[in-house]
Every structure is written in C-alpha cells, then in structure tokens.
Amino acid sequence: MQDDVRLSSTNKNLDVYFTAFLMISLILFAIEILASSVAIDDYKYSFYFYLDIVATLSIFSDVSFLLDFMAVIFGMEISTLSVNAIPG
C-alpha cells in the first residue's frame, strides 16, 4: 500500500529520498529499542519490546536495497530484477 501511494504521487527520482527517510527511521527506532532496554525496567522481553521489534523490522520490506541484500544472503531471486514485468 505504501508503495502505491509513493508511485502514484511522486517521480522515480524521489525514491532516493524515500529510502533515506526509511533508513533514518529504521536507525532511530533501533536506537529507541536499545535505549528503552537499558533505561526502562521490565521493558526488555515485554510485550512492547517484541511489538517494537516487529514494527522496526517491518521497515525492511520498504527498503529495496535491504531486501536485495537479504535475498543475496539467503540465495533468493533479487526483487529489483523483475521491475520490467508486465502486470497481469
């Protein structure tokens, strides 16, 4: 859904800015999880700890070069190669 809004409202040359914003968000959320684990008693391994991890990891699906990197590591087909596919 997020890609649909991005693709319909912006040009391809703005993808770099979306990726940069998502990477900054990913880094800040990871820092928040680490800081909360250190500063808040009973946060580590709580429901909100796991919820924050799932929410932070969900950003990976929006960052294409991270998905491509994971595909290479796990020996899967890289997603950006199928960009020129004809929709059915």
pLDDT digits (tens, 9 = 90+) for 42-74: 999 999 999 999 999 999 888 888 888 888 888
What is the Cα gyration radius of the chain? 16
Give the per-residue pLDDT at 34: 97
pTM exceeds 0.95 for this model: no
Indicate the domain borders of the chain: 23-79
Cβ-based neighbours of 52, under 8 Å, separated by 6 or more: 29, 32, 33, 36
Place of tokens 């808040």: 40
pLDDT bucket at 2, cuts 50 / 70 / 90: low
